[in-house]
Chains A and B, each alone.
Chain A
Amino acid sequence: MAIRNVSLWRSIDWFTIILYFILVACGWLSICGASYDFGDSNFFSFSSNPGKQLVWAGCALVLGLILLNIEKKYYEMLAYPVYFAFVVLLAATIFIAPDIKGSHSWLVFGPIRVQPAEFSKFATALALARLLSTYGFSMAKRSDVVKMILLVVVPMLLIVLQNETGSALVYLSFFLVLYREGMTGSLLAIGVCAVAYFVIGVGQSENFFEQMPVNVGEFVVFLLIPLFTSLMVGIYGKRAARAWWIAGLNLGGTLIAWLFSHYVIPFDICIVQLILCVCTALYLLGVYVLERYASFLLIALFALGSIGFYYSCNMLIDKLQPHQQMRIKVLLGLENDPSGVGYNINQSKIAIGSGGVWGKGFLNGTQTKLNYVPEQHTDFIFCTIGEEQGFMGCVFILLLYATFIIRIITLAERQGSNKFTRVYGYSLASILTFHLFVNVGMVIGLAPVIGIPLPFFSYGGSSLWGFTILLSILLRLDAERETRF
């Protein structure tokens, strides 16, 4: 083992640290913007949100410095104990936490409120890294896979029980780590497909094209099915020509049907799409029977299964109670009643949209300060950036995030045979990606309304500390990296 035995300050990744400080500084300025209410505001007063956030940031810095000085071997050693401690804490929180807006996730110590779910992420990441780097661990072994899945799912379920579904869903991001570590990609692909069918099919089920009796959701789903199918034929069937044929015939048929419906007689072109999909599946079955090539059977089953999944989703929704339907629609951000759930998203779009190219200028936003945007300094903090810094500010922040995440992936990948650090690094990258996707996606109306914070930006100590801990440990682990041979 050729551990580079040099000073921590020389081997630590300063680039990541600089990015971290830029993110936290931008976040603090955004909180100033969101908290300013056109009066005399003192951002450094400890009674104001920016003032408090400064305190949290200072604490985070101290916390980070401490964690940077703990050697890697201790992290490896303590991974499981810390993980179990957090599982116990999460379970206890369900019972001892007071009811705050319906959730039981906050522990209250006098004036300070802490959300254990924000901290259990690093514990889970450590435990997962420890498990996957254990000698002899293999994704082919059923017992290992069960351990692996349980490790992720247990804290997730506990957080669901705390009624913090949003924070629980973050644990899904660990599956991206597992994919990187060798979990079969098709499962991930099928999962993505199912989510896409559901979100688009159900989410757009009430929209129709102009002048045509064609359901938007159905149309898009039946466009995706042949595309995914031909993609699979290309990748797994290793028949590029056939993949092109399948995609071309399906798209061409749809196009002809579209033109006919648009210019001649309006009719539901989804019928044509359905027939094309079924024909494609039958063709693939035929190929399987003639050529005995198992992949084609699976792809045919995928196509048929997709059709079945789409219809059963719709039927299931219809059978549900109205309030359950409502909950799903809320999750999909479907409700457009201005005073209902859609109100928040609408106001948030107004705030961002009114920012224009260059924004209204620091502290000059109106929507985010006058309470039009809900939760404007926590979950909807991105609105302040959109309104005050405009398109340019948003692009800058998004690119900053992309750079930060890709840098972390780079750190994870440069670990050589050190699987522990790599898994841990990917965990951090995946969690950040998930937060970015869901939070910003929600604010700009692309993702369902799930209340999770934007890392380093949203006001609150728990979130900032949680991510600082995650990052500090990675920086320490990376500083002790081996050179790859």
Chain B
Amino acid sequence: MNNDYRYENRKFVVVGIVLAIVIVFIGRLFSLQIMNDEYKKDAESNAFLNKTIYPSRGVMYDRNGKLLVSNQPAYDVMVCMRNVKDLDTLAFCQSLGITEEFFVKRMADVKNRRLNPGYSSYTDQLFLSQLTAEDFAMFQEQLYKFSGFSIQRRTIRQYNYPVAGHLFGDLGEVSKKDIAKDDYYVQGDFIGKQGIESYYESALRGEKGKEVLLRDAHGRVKGKYLDGAMDVAPVPGKNLTLSIDIELQALAERLLQNKIGSVVAIEPSTGEVLCMASSPTFDPQILVGRKRGDNHRMLSKDKQKPLLNRAIMGTYPPGSTFKTSQALTYLQEGIITPETQFPCALGFRHRGLHVGCHVHGSPIALVPSLATSCNSYYCWGLYRMIGADKYGSSQVALTRWKDHMVAMGFGYRLGIDLPGEARGFIPNEGTYNKVYGKSWNGLTIISISIGQGEVTLTPLQIANLGATIANRGYYIAPHVVKEVQGEELDSLYRFPKRTMVDEVHYETVVQGMREAVLNGTCRAANLPDIEVCGKTGTAQNRGKDHSAFMGFAPMNDPKIAVAVYVENGGFGAVYGVPIGALIMEKYLTGSLSETSEQKAKDIQQRVIYYGNQER
């Protein structure tokens, strides 16, 4: 019996082992569950799938409420590798219009985790994106044969008019830079790349929503987390109403066919851009969907640069349209009065300098000088101003001149709501000091008085000059979007900016421009029952002269200011005036008369040959 109790104390060893195990386990659990929160994060990244719900992108209307840009369904072909069985590859490729090599490569790319980090053979993976409705219809008929493949709907842009490509811009997949700049975007998102789509991106895109889903170890979705309590509904994008009149835009583009140039029309009282055409152009619809890449490449390789919006990106010598700004400056500075006359003997002749002009009476006063576009008058004006005693030096005088130009909206961006606007160029004293030292005078820089030489403007700035004159001395920064749904427009587009010239001087210049239409260079712009004011421009450059026109109408209640600029079009009267007249007629009367329609057809068909060099 003694033997039985000899080892009784060993029960403590056994109990000790049990307790030791439990204590060690509790210690381990303490370090796993309380000391370490990495596991919590791992668990979340394991199980939660934050599925983005894309908001619908804002649509665009024109100023008359016509729907210009909307959203259309597109179809992505998805593949779930695990379910792909007995695929008839040939039939599959035919139904999608792809080659077998493409199929093999695409399938390999989908499975490649380096290219496609989220790959799982259990879940749908993107095989082919943005099938159009027609392609989809073909494919859908046969879809039942291809197990493992399915269709996912998404929306892409629908441009309802084949015009205004430069204005609308386009959507493209975000670049790495976009993602770095704004963490709203993730790989594969779409973003406005050009035009309004880009400038108003944040209003148009809305806010993404999210759905918190639970995902099992194979990546299969098993339902909503907490019944959707963590979900966020998407906020749809805001709709835009453009200031553009789409019919006017279409007419402008039509008139510019086969020519390089721009037409810009502005409503003077509001700064709203009525049309903005740049030629050559493109149909915005070709930059939508699967063919975007190819088409974009084709457009960007074109030597005539159809992707360039010349209306805001092209900088040109304004030619004689600039004389209006000079007249205003000289008047305001007291260099001339409306009665001041200058001689013109087939041009400006002084101390051996000669600036040519055409035949007209001499000496000539301000109003007729505008009407006939006399070069000499403005050369004299600038010569007098730069040499005027009241400034003390040419430098001070030029600075004063430059201040006037800047106040009229030249030399700096006007701030239009489109990306890529150019500044143009207005020289200041530094420009000339650099070249001539201090020893320059009015004669040295005489060509700027007639819109040549160093001065360059964008067509938009020329149109804005027209709007400023129409307003008798102020402008509102031009803009193409009239209304953002539920938002106030930027104050830049609501408050006028005054120039440094008094209203009374504008009246004089208006008289000159009216005279140009009635009896001068712009006679072709004379419309029945409408008092049109205008100024031609014929800008010298390396090739044939550029043909320009700036005008507004009606004279005393201006509704439209327009600028036309046709590269190498010759005299302003050749293209500038008739195009400008047609635009004004169309906008003010709502249609073109029969004769005007004939004129429009005629202009549309006229071709300017530009040769094969880069433009």
Contact surface of A with B, Cβ cutoff 8 Å:
37-39, 176, 179-182, 185, 347, 349-357, 366-367, 369-372, 386-387, 390-391, 394-395, 398-399, 401-402, 405-406, 409, 413, 417, 419, 426, 429-430, 433, 436-437, 440-441, 444-446
B176 within 8 A of A: no
A445 to B28, CA, bound (A): 9
Most chain A CB within 10 A, of B1, B14, B216, is at: B14
> From residue B12, how far is it (CB to closest CB) to chain A in Å?
10
The stretch that binds A, out of B31-39, B288-296, B484-492, B554-562, is: B31-39
Are A370 and B43 in contact, with the CB atoms below 8 A?
A: no
Are A372 and B1 in contact, with the CB atoms below 8 A?
A: no
**10 closest residue pairs by CB, A with B:** A353-B39, A354-B43, A366-B47, A370-B216, A371-B217, A391-B33, A353-B32, A350-B42, A402-B22, A354-B40
Are A353 and B22 in contact, with the CB atoms below 8 A?
A: no
Residues of B within 8 A of A351 (CB): 43
Residues of B within 8 A of A398 (CB): 22, 25-26
Residues of A within 8 A of B43 (CB): 350-351, 353-354, 366-367, 387
Q: Which residue of B17, B22, B225 contacts A176 across the interface (Cβ within 8 Å)?
A: B17
Please report whether the interface of chain A is mostly helix, strand, loop or mixed according to DSSP.
helix
Are B10 and A180 in contact, with the CB atoms below 8 A?
A: yes
Residues of A within 8 A of B215 (CB): 370
> From residue A221, how far is it (CB to closest CB) to chain B in Å?
19
Are A356 and B19 in contact, with the CB atoms below 8 A?
A: no
B615 within 8 A of A: no
A353 to B42, CA, bound (A): 9
Are B14 and A426 in contact, with the CB atoms below 8 A?
A: yes
Residues of A within 8 A of B1 (CB): 417
B6 within 8 A of A: yes
Residues of B within 8 A of A371 (CB): 216-218
B222 within 8 A of A: yes
How many residues of B are counted as interface, with CB atoms below 8 angstroms from the partner's CB atoms? 44
Q: Which residue of B15, B26, B46 contacts A406 across the interface (Cβ within 8 Å)?
A: B15
Are B14 and A409 in contact, with the CB atoms below 8 A?
A: yes
Are B34 and A391 in contact, with the CB atoms below 8 A?
A: yes
Given the known interface contacts A356-B34, A356-B40, A370-B47, the answer about A446 and B18 at a Cβ–Cβ threshold of 8 Å is no
Residues of A within 8 A of B22 (CB): 398-399, 401-402
Are B14 and A180 in contact, with the CB atoms below 8 A?
A: yes
Within 8 A of A (CB), among B27-69: 28-30, 32-34, 36-40, 42-44, 46-48
Residues of B within 8 A of A391 (CB): 29-30, 33-34
> From residue A269, how far is it (CB to closest CB) to chain B in Å?
26
Q: Which residue of B18, B34, B47 contacts A405 across the interface (Cβ within 8 Å)?
A: B18
A394: nearest chain-B partner, CB-CB: B29
A404: nearest chain-B partner, CB-CB: B18
Given the known interface contacts A176-B14, A354-B40, A401-B22, the answer about A413 and B34 at a Cβ–Cβ threshold of 8 Å is no
Are A370 and B217 in contact, with the CB atoms below 8 A?
A: yes
Are A441 and B25 in contact, with the CB atoms below 8 A?
A: yes
> From residue A468, how far is it (CB to closest CB) to chain B in Å?
21
B42: nearest chain-A partner, CB-CB: A350
> From residue A406, how far is it (CB to closest CB) to chain B in Å?
6
Are A38 and B222 in contact, with the CB atoms below 8 A?
A: yes
A112 to B177, CA, bound (A): 62
Are B39 and A417 in contact, with the CB atoms below 8 A?
A: no
Are A367 and B46 in contact, with the CB atoms below 8 A?
A: yes
B609 within 8 A of A: no
Given the known interface contacts A180-B7, A180-B14, the answer about A444 and B42 at a Cβ–Cβ threshold of 8 Å is no
> From residue A437, how far is it (CB to closest CB) to chain B in Å?
5
B229 within 8 A of A: no
A408: nearest chain-B partner, CB-CB: B18
Are A349 and B39 in contact, with the CB atoms below 8 A?
A: yes
Q: Which residue of B11, B217, B225 contacts A180 across the interface (Cβ within 8 Å)?
A: B11
Are B47 and A372 in contact, with the CB atoms below 8 A?
A: yes
B594 within 8 A of A: no
A37 to B222, CA, bound (A): 8
A372 to B39, CA, bound (A): 13
> From residue A84, how far is it (CB to closest CB) to chain B in Å?
28
B223 within 8 A of A: yes
Residues of A within 8 A of B48 (CB): 366
Are B47 and A38 in contact, with the CB atoms below 8 A?
A: no
Are B214 and A370 in contact, with the CB atoms below 8 A?
A: yes
> From residue A310, how far is it (CB to closest CB) to chain B in Å?
23
Are B10 and A179 in contact, with the CB atoms below 8 A?
A: yes
